[in-house]
Amino acid sequence: MFISLDQLSSKLFSTGKICIIEETSRGRTVYEIDQRLPLKSSPFIKYFPSEVSPANIVREIGAEKDKLYYIIPPKRYYRITLKLPFKEKERIEKVVKYEVLGNIPEELSDYVVAFFQLENGRYNGRLTPLQTYTVSKDEIKGVIAGFGEYSKNLRGLIPAESLYYAFLKRLELAGDRLFLDLSQDTIAILLISESGIFKSSTLELEGDLFPGQEFIFLIQAFLRDFTSGTVLVNMRSGVDDRIINQVIGILNKLEIKYRRLNTGDFPVDRTLKDKGYLSDMISAFGLLYQLQKSSQAVVNLLKEEFKPRFSGRIRLKEAIIIAVLLLVIGAMGITKVGLEASYYRNRSIELEDAIRKISLSVFKKPDIDAGEIRKSIRELEKNRKLMSYLLNPQYGASGLLEEVAFLIPGDIKLEFNELVIKRDSIRFSGKTTSFAEVDKLKEALKTSDIFKDVKVVSSSTTGSREGYTVSFVIEIDVKTGLVE
């Protein structure tokens, strides 16, 4: 029997205890737990107020040699769902950091993005939906500083909702899964649908006040995407009975059938006697599931942590200016990019990726002098109008790509050659099996509310022993007002 390196690593390092610290609004819950599943011994669980630092927690429970994992609450990060036109992890990692920028409500100059791939049933395999988590590096530095001398043992900073997802995906349930997790601080609501939808929201609880109307609004919003399946409710220890009664009362009033999580939903050995703590360990079990699969499966915000900065005779800003010039002056055909670049919301994302690559090569040549930089700046000014067009933040390419992907019939055998998205038009070429398929594709695209006109500008056939293929070029005129 053969075993992969990843599996070998998982077996070698999956023994012994780990320490998981879960941050909440009111403090931190600590789990010192055996990493192996199913759980055969009761974990050590203790609650600490916010004033106690992670370093003091580690010291107090005697976990100085444990591997440490820190679970970050939703208020600390931004959760964004993206859709990209490729599924290779290496390609996604190159671009996802830039794509999230247009979706978060503040500008982050230095940040980390972690992600995992969702099922892509809604997109016929043509788009890859991602769940992304973005946090500023200042936030990460603050967490790491709290561990003090034990920061060297820190293995991961994990967004809480990614662990809910990992836990729920392992439950053997048919249909959709709508999950409510009640704690002393929050009510987390998550939906995982068979069609690939993943939605989550966290409602903060303040004192004795229960936000009934907001809770009803969120539940009804989630039910719009819930077709059929199981509604699960988890009630952690310490939740006020009044909160429980109000939540259950609202579910009954909305005629929502639900069931509470039971012992069989958790990965514990049957011989384990004390099981009263299981409802508190949703996040911890989610992390153990990920670690059991492999360390690479963990949605880890620590993985890009603080790469060393380069030094040289030019500053980063100057290097980027030169890189932009090289891109714009030396490659004026930027509008004819391939499929990988065409999903970008605007051309600035594409430029950012190219700038990053080119600036790295610039740093390898520290003999660039100030005269060259000044000359480059003058050239940049000359091309300001071109740059203004390319960097228009309202380009809307991502939305147009998604529209095309949604409308392409799933039963068409289609091979893309090129896809170019401009401000008011889309042009793509490809191959299929017959002229009838080309007509079918054209008619499907014409049903869009945002496409003004769809026409086949060329089509031809190529024969071979295996049959023949039809090559085509389609041009789409976009209703400009909807993308500007």
Tell me, rounded to whole angstroms, the distance of Cα 77 from its chain centroid.
11
Q: What is the pLDDT of residues 307-355, one digit of tens each?
A: 333 333 444 444 444 444 444 444 433 333 333 334 444 444 445 555 5
Overall average pLDDT of the 293-301 stretch = 82
Q: What is 397-482's CATH number?
A: 3.30.1360.100
Query: 322: Cβ–Cβ under 8 A, 6 or more apart, which residues?
Result: 314, 358, 359, 362, 368, 372, 373, 376
Q: Cα separation of 36 and 21, whole Å?
A: 18
- The per-residue pLDDT of the chain, averaged, comes to 76
Q: What is 74-297's CATH number?
A: 3.30.420.40
* Structure-block tokens of residue 372: 């060259």
pLDDT band at 14; cut points 50, 70, 90: very low
* Structure-block tokens of residue 257: 């059938």
| Strand, coil or helix: 14 | coil
Overall average pLDDT of the 287-305 stretch = 81
Sign of CA dihedral 364, 366, 367, 369: positive
Domain boundaries, the chain: 74-297, 316-390, 397-482
Higher per-residue pLDDT: 294 or 71: 71
Q: What is the pLDDT of residues 231-258, one digit of tens each?
A: 999 999 889 899 999 999 999 999 999 9
Higher per-residue pLDDT: 465 or 79: 79
Nearest to 372 by CA among 310, 334, 323, 311: 323
pLDDT band at 372; cut points 50, 70, 90: low
* Structure-block tokens of residue 310: 């380069």
Other C-beta atoms lying within 10 Å of the C-beta of residue 419:
22
Q: What is the pLDDT of residues 136-195, one digit of tens each?
A: 888 999 999 999 999 999 999 999 999 999 999 888 888 889 999 999 888 999 998 876
Q: Are the folds of 74-297 and 397-482 the same? A: no
Q: Cα separation of 103 and 52, whole Å?
A: 34
